[in-house]
Amino acid sequence: MKNIKITDLAHELLETEITKDSVIVDATAGNGNDTKFLAERVKHVYTFDIQESALNQTRTLTKDFKNITYIHDTHEHILKYVQNFDGVVFNLGYLPGGDKKITTMTHSTIDTLEKLHKNQKGFILVVAYPGHLEGLKETVAVQSFLDKHEIKYRVVKFHHETKNEAPFIFFWKY
């Protein structure tokens, strides 16, 4: 049986929302897999990462695409760079194969979600991983943020036979 990953499910969900005319923000470029997936399907992708090495990985993976803007900055500044977009995608946690100490942090993730909430544009998709300590704090904080604002969201919890802490996808639309 094919080993299905949470990111495959996130991509399936994205397929139902994006079109060839969409402009999408990838808030966490990482190794570039989500950016590439999006660039193949939409008009333009703005991709952010605080690690230059991650952006370089993303640049290498997506070298054949002309519809990507690479931004070396925190996603807290998304609205400084992009005002018109159809959705924002977060794949939280640390860069696979990179420094596990450099991970998305609860305070900056929630700060970004608050800013996007004020802006009320498009959809938000967040893949969260409670299997490590900061990821657990982040997952709880995302859930509290959604509850506080009474946002109607969809959630997918990915059951894993061998891991206790299953990852989550949170998805909502403004």
CB of 40 to ligand SAM, least distance (A): 13
Side chain identity, residue 152: K
Smaller CB separation from ligand SAM, 34 or 86: 34
* Residue-by-residue DSSP string for 146-174: HHHTT---EEEE---SS-SS--EEEEEE-
- Nearest residue (CB) to ligand SAM, 152 versus 170: 170
Residues that bind ligand SAM (CB under 6 A): 27-28, 30-34, 48-51, 54, 74-75, 91, 93, 95, 102, 104, 108
CB of 173 to ligand SAM, least distance (A): 20
The rounded distance, in Å, linking the Cα atoms of 146 and 122 is 16
Q: Which two tokens stand for residue 162?
A: 């061998």
Q: Which is nearer to ligand SAM, 1 or 64 (CB)?
A: 64
Instruction: Mark out the alpha helices in the chain (DSSP H runs).
Output: 6-15, 33-39, 52-61, 78-81, 106-119, 133-148
Give the three-class secondary structure for 119.
helix
Of all residues in the shown chain, the one whose CB is closest to ligand SAM is 30
**Residue 37 and residue 15 in contact, taking contact as beta carbons nearer than 8 Å:** no
Q: Supply the minimum distance, in Å, between the C-beta of residue 150 and ligand SAM.
A: 26
**How far apart are CB 88 and ligand SAM at their closest, in Å?**
11
Q: Closest CB to ligand SAM among 36 and 121? A: 36
